[in-house]
Amino acid sequence: PLLLLPLGCLALLLPPRGAAEFSPSLDSDFTFTLPAGRKECFYQPMRKEASLELEYQVLDGAGLDVDFHLLSPKGETLVFEERKSDGVHTVETEDGDYMFCFDNTFSTISEKVIFFELILDNMGEDRQDQEDWKKYVTGTDLLDMKLEDILESINSVKARLSKSVQIQTLLRAFEARDRNIQESNFDRVNFWSMVNLGVMVVVSAVQVYMLKSLFEEKRKSRT
């Protein structure tokens, strides 16, 4: 399970206590609320010669921006972005825990809703499954099909399905962000419409009062 703990202003080069950790997975996505003036960090264990792809989007909050940090297991800064609304980053990994942080300490009022997705490639699990399959089908000749062709077809289908799932997830994130923007704009339009209506009522009342007072002054002057 994913655990989310605040880190405050803890130095980036020091691993945070209780930072969140993902169980090994090929594809993980998560949406969370980052309070104003806070920073949240997560760990992702990786293997050597694997690939880590991380995409994030700010779905809601004033400015739709956040600071992003990605650090290697040695504490080296791989990516550092300031006040960005989204980003996509891919790194070739080594053994160890990679840490990525979302920083909202620059904001003192507005909280942010953040979506991010992790895609892990070449984690070694697929290769082990393929070796196990070869062990069971060795020595058989199934309709003159080569095992390599079967594996290639399966991997191709699997890659396309994973890509489809990724695109659908991103589309849902875009839809959520656009909906939040539209709802915010709707509230602003209603608010300023009421303000304009109130101003018009006040101006109309003042004009009626001024015209009425002019006529009354003329009547008094004649008498």
What is the per-residue pLDDT across 176-203, written as a single tens digit (0 to 9) for each? 777 777 877 888 888 888 889 889 988 8
CA 173, 71, 42 angle in degrees (round to 5)?
A: 50
Q: What is the pLDDT of residue 63?
A: 84
Domain ranges in the chain?
Answer: 26-125, 149-218
Q: What totals of helices (H) and strands (E) does the chain contain, helices first?
A: 2, 9
Decide if 30 contacts 1 (C-beta within 8 A).
Answer: no
Q: Which of 8-12, 68-72, 82-86, 117-121 has the highest mean pLDDT?
A: 68-72
Q: What is the pLDDT of residue 157?
A: 78
CA 171, 4, 59 angle in degrees (round to 5)?
A: 30
Tens of pLDDT, residues 111-159: 999 999 888 887 765 555 555 555 555 555 554 556 677 777 777 777 7
Of the candidates 49, 176, 70, 57, the one whose C-alpha atom is nearest the C-alpha of residue 120 is 49
Q: Greater confidence, 114 or 214?
A: 114
Of the candidates 152, 147, 41, the one whose C-alpha atom is nearest the C-alpha of residue 97 is 41
Q: Domain 26-125, CATH 2.60.120.680 — does that match? A: yes
- Does the structure show a pLDDT above 90 at 70? yes
Tens of pLDDT, residues 21-67: 444 457 788 889 999 999 999 999 998 888 898 999 998 888 889 99
Q: How many CB atoms lie within 10 A of CB 21?
A: 14
Q: What is the pLDDT of residue 23?
A: 43
Decide if 100 contacts 70 (C-beta within 8 A).
Answer: yes
Q: What is the pLDDT of residue 134?
A: 55
Q: What is the pLDDT of residue 34?
A: 93
How confident is residue 11, by pLDDT bands cut at 50, 70 and 90? Answer: very low
pTM listed for this prediction: 0.56
| 103: helix, strand or coil | strand
